[in-house]
Amino acid sequence: MGKIRYALFDLDGTLSESAPGITKSVQYALRHFGIEEPDLKKLETFVGPPLRDEFHRRYGFDDAQCTAAVEKYRERYRNIGIFECEMYEGIYELSKACSGKGIHLAVASSKPEEFVVRIMEHFGIAQYFDVICGARMEDDHHNISGVDSKEYVVRKALQALSDADGAVILDRDNAVMVGDRDLDIYGAIRNGVTSVGVTFGYGTRQELEEAKADHIFDTVQELSDYLLAGES
């Protein structure tokens, strides 16, 4: 692989430490169903995958219950939980350095795009990104798998980067997708770009290795060194 020209990032667990807002909003939704979960750590599995997938996997909710759970989650998340997060230490510096060196940056998140844009703008980091892509809000009301959703949003971000860069066909040999969960790796693989896993988020090294990530980094500094390798 030559010099990196395009870098796509997941949001939750990759750019932002977002568990507090997500887990408290899941806790709020579960309470609607009479389920009390005082240990927010146990709800961190909701960080990353589509909400429907996790409500079904963890609690056996049927389609109607999943739809209701997502709606209750959004009641709290939309105006409270959304900003109960912060960018990881070093992410601002990494984003600014990459942008300054001509690397085109994008967010490719499974979170609804409305929320992704609000978070990026609220924390003042949107300025470094050429493209901000998220999932379609309506996807949470259909049985669209996490892998398919991530494949879609990565493909959408790549196309938007290509359009922004004036390229007819984006050179995917010089593109990477960075994320903390296996879905991020699968999304990269399905779109033919280099997959980069990070362990400072909410996934595990084992999860990333089993997904066959091309590279795995433990710190923001290691990720920065990789992305900026060859830049002067």
Q: Which of 78, 9, 18 has the alpha carbon at shortest distance from 201?
A: 18
109-126 in b/e burial notation, b at 16+ Cβ within 10 A? bbbbbebbebbbeebebb
Distance between CA atoms of residues 158 and 140, nearest Å = 22
Residue among 10, 12, 53, 182 flagged as catalytic: 10
User: The tokens of 223 are what?
Assistant: 């990720």
Ramachandran region of residue 69, left (φ > 0), alpha (ψ -120 to 50) or beta?
Answer: alpha
Task: Record the tokens describing residue 129, joined without a space.
Answer: 């990104």
Question: How many Cα atoms sit within 13 Å of 108 on the Cβ side?
Answer: 36
Rounded Cα distance between 4 and 43, Å, is 35
Backbone dihedral angles phi then psi of residue 48, each to the nearest 5 degrees: 120, -65
163 catalytically annotated: no
* 155 burial type by CB count under 10 A (0-12 exposed, 13-18 middle, 19+ buried): middle
Report the alpha-carbon angle 82-22-154, nearest 5: 80
Catalytic residues: 10
